[in-house]
Amino acid sequence: MTQELNDGLPAREAALNLIDAALSRRGGIDEAASANGFRFLEPRERAFARALAMAVLRHLGPIDRALAAKLQKAPPDRVMNLLRLGAAQAFHLEVPAFAAVATSVELAGANKTSRPFKGLVNAVLRGLLRDGQPADDPALLAPPWLYARWVSAFGEATAREIAAQIAQEPATDLSVKPSADVATLVEALEAEELPGGSLRVRRKGDVAGWPGFEDGTWWVQDAAAAVPARLLTIKPGDKVLDLCAAPGGKTLQLAATGATVTALDRSAARLKRVDENLERMQLTAEVVAADAAVWEDTRTFDAILLDAPCSATGTFRRHPDVLWAARPSDVASLATVQARILDSAADRLKPGGQLVYTVCSLEPEEGEAQVEAFLARRKDMALEPIAPGEGGAPEASLTARGTLRLLPHHRDGGQDGFFAARFKKL
């Protein structure tokens, strides 16, 4: 083993921990990446570890199918993850094949659980390399139960287009303060301006070093995630409530309109990020830690944005671990929570006020079905149809009902999956 290969072992070990966290539902990659063992790596090692883990998760279905053909029975989890890591390095990252195999074998020997399987790791990975890279069949990129749901909801052709986005590494989208010089930013960041005003940036690296970050000119927010807040008609001074606000991208959008914004979330820890972003952007909002369904506050608001807790299946482009952590039962249980918060939001809305309900989910129970059930029980609320192209949404995302079903393939270069509906209080 050369010194060069040894230098990459800590990052690969960290990647194994990230993969294990993602697949065992232990908080996912983001939580694992905040652990001390990960944070103490050098920045270059952290970036490499994350890239390794993401490559595994983006291509997990095809990799597992190729591995299954080489294995008579499933090995221990660590060994399986080592095989996945080796395959992802060889087929999806610019890692020489010999290094992908050698480092995987070295890591196998460094742990008592995997040490007896060094020979297996070596033989299986070499066999995969002889066979060549497995095709990324879209039908294999998502968990079978989830892909079947997408076929049922959208049809086979659309399900394949959605799933094909799983393997794609996304660009970084930015939302910009209204006072910003967009033309200067586009040039400085080599960005593309999207409908609605988001900027799409394809550069890599730490965003904190990009032009405009320190000045509080922009914040990171997917182009689809930026659409729902734009659907509210807000005047300076309007009282606006952002429910389930963390991590705060939509709060910043609302505060930038000049509205008096209250940002509420049940997680005080996540609200610290909202406070930090407001400070950097030199914007203000009242930040409240409370459960949106039972918040004891009698105020009413001119406009409310509810980005409800959901299965988050639409966020797989940046968080592929959500696909493998989700369970079929999650959708039904979350739909119950969403209905309760929707009713609470409607109660807090002034007559004539607007309520936008949105979820970063691809599941109809959390979107379309939620809207119909809400309208059936709330005769004081009416659907306010969204216009074609409104908020910067692709026209393909507009439904016949006047809601938005933002699918990942509806925008060139992809976008997160969202559902959004707008209501008016009678």
Span 24-38, pLDDT tens digits: 876 677 777 777 677
Give me the pLDDT at residue 8, please. Answer: 86
* Residue 402: C-alpha distances to residues 91, 304, 334 (Å): 43, 19, 24
Amino acid at 355: L
Give me the pLDDT at residue 26, please. Answer: 62
Task: Tell me the C-alpha distance between 30 and 34, whole Å.
Answer: 6
Does the annotation mark 360 as catalytic? yes
Give me the pLDDT at residue 29, please. Answer: 79
Q: Dihedral sign, CA of 50, 52, 55, 58? A: negative
Mean pLDDT of the 327-356 span:
97
Give me the pLDDT at residue 97, please. Answer: 93
Give me the pLDDT at residue 243, please. Answer: 98
Task: Tell me the C-alpha distance between 299 and 281, whole Å.
Answer: 27
Q: Are strands 301-307 and 239-243 parallel, antiparallel or unpaired?
A: parallel
Give me the pLDDT at residue 3, please. Answer: 40
Tokens of 206: 């730490």
Give me the pLDDT at residue 4, please. Answer: 43
Query: Is-contact 224 406, C-beta < 8 A?
Result: yes
Give me the pLDDT at residue 40, please. Answer: 80
Question: What are the tens digits of pLDDT across the range 361-398?
Answer: 999 999 999 999 999 999 999 999 999 999 999 999 99
Of residues 77, 69, 192, 53, the one with CA closest to residue 128: 69
The widest CA-to-CA distance across the chain, in whole angstroms, is 72
Amino acid at 212: G
Three-state secondary structure call for residue 109 = helix
Task: Tell me the C-alpha distance between 358 and 421, whole Å.
Answer: 7
Centre a 10 Å sphere on the Cβ of residue 25 and count the other Cβ atoms it contains.
Answer: 12
Mean pLDDT of the 199-226 span:
96
DSSP category for residue 408 = G
Quote the crossing angle between the two packed helices 9-23 and 77-92, to the nearest 10°.
Answer: 120
pTM (predicted TM-score): 0.94
| Residue of 63, 360, 371, 421 marked active site | 360
Query: Is-contact 314 360, C-beta < 8 A?
Result: yes
Question: What are the tens digits of pLDDT across the range 248-298?
Answer: 999 999 999 999 999 999 999 999 999 999 999 999 999 999 999 999 999
Average pLDDT, the chain: 94
Mean pLDDT of the 177-190 span:
96
Helices (H), 138-241: 138-141, 144-154, 156-164, 182-189, 227-230
Question: What are the tens digits of pLDDT across the range 216-259?
Answer: 999 999 999 999 999 999 999 999 999 999 999 999 999 999 99
- Inform me whether the pLDDT recorded for 1 exceeds 50: no
7 — pLDDT class (breaks 50, 70, 90): low
